[in-house]
């Protein structure tokens, strides 16, 4: 498939403004608490870096990362998940925010949520920069959503196409040419 960078869907300024709002919301929700942010690699790392810096210093935070690949099919939610890189810390009894770049089918998120609840997290919430309309598999509310976007393939701000374009400061549509 031949591709080309298309129009800017969300500008750098819009992203930063929205992440600021999300950080303030998280700060209010976890005031004086401790939160463990878990970024799902690789796409979430740019968003996570900005999100944690918009959380108030009164909230003590931990950060870790996990990398998973899910092999599910479209009709079941029982597809297996392969953990490529696991957490280095225990999340038992902790208040966890799972950080995603984008939720599409929700299958990745469903798997991670199930793993973390089996490990005894005290609470589990989700922060995602982007949400596509196809979120069918993860049937809980997404707690912190940056932007709802149309069902187009987008890149930038951590999101890739074949590992390229993560460095773009804004979110752009990838066009087929």
Active site residue 104: yes
Helices and strands, number each (H, E), in the chain: 3, 9
The one catalytic residue in 50, 73, 86, 104 is: 104
Distances (CA, A) of 21 to 3, 56, 90, 112: 33, 12, 29, 25
26's contact among ligand IMP, Mg ion, none, with CB below 5 to 8 A by partner kind, is: none
Q: Which of 154, 157, 158, 168 binds ligand IMP (CB under 6 A)?
A: 154
Q: Whole-angstrom Cα distance, residue 77 to residue 100?
A: 19
| Residue nearest to Mg ion according to CB distances in the complex | 43
Question: Considering beta carbons, is residue 27 or 105 the nearer one to Mg ion?
Answer: 105
Q: Is the dihedral of CA 167, 168, 174, 177 positive or negative?
A: negative
Q: How far is the CB of 104 from ligand IMP (least distance, A)?
A: 3
Q: How far is the CB of 71 from Mg ion (least distance, A)?
A: 15
The answer to whether 104 touches 43, Cβ cutoff 8 Å, is: no
Q: Which of 23, 39, 43, 158 binds Mg ion (CB under 5 A)?
A: 43
Interaction site with ligand IMP (CB under 6 A): 43, 100-109, 153-155, 159
């Amino acid at each position: 498939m031949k591709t080309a960078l298309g129009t800017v869907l969300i500008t750098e300024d819009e992203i930063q403004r929205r992440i600021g709002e999300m950080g303030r919301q998280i700060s209010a929700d976890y005031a004086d608490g401790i939160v463990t942010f878990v970024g799902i690699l690789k796409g979430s790392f740019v968003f996570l870096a900005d999100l944690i810096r918009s959380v108030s210093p009164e909230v003590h935070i931990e950060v870790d990362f996990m990398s998973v690949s899910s092999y599910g099919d479209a009709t079941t939610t029982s597809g297996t998940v392969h953990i490529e890189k696991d957490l280095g810390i225990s999340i038992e009894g902790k208040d966890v925010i799972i950080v995603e770049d984008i939720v599409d089918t929700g299958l990745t998120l469903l798997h991670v949520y199930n793993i973390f609840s089996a490990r005894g997290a005290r609470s589990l919430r989700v922060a995602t920069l982007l949400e596509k309309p196809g979120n069918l598999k993860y049937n809980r509310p997404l707690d912190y959503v940056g932007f709802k976007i149309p069902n187009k393939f987008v890149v930038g701000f951590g999101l890739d196409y074949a590992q390229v374009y993560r460095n773009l400061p804004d979110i752009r549509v990838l066009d087929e040419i």
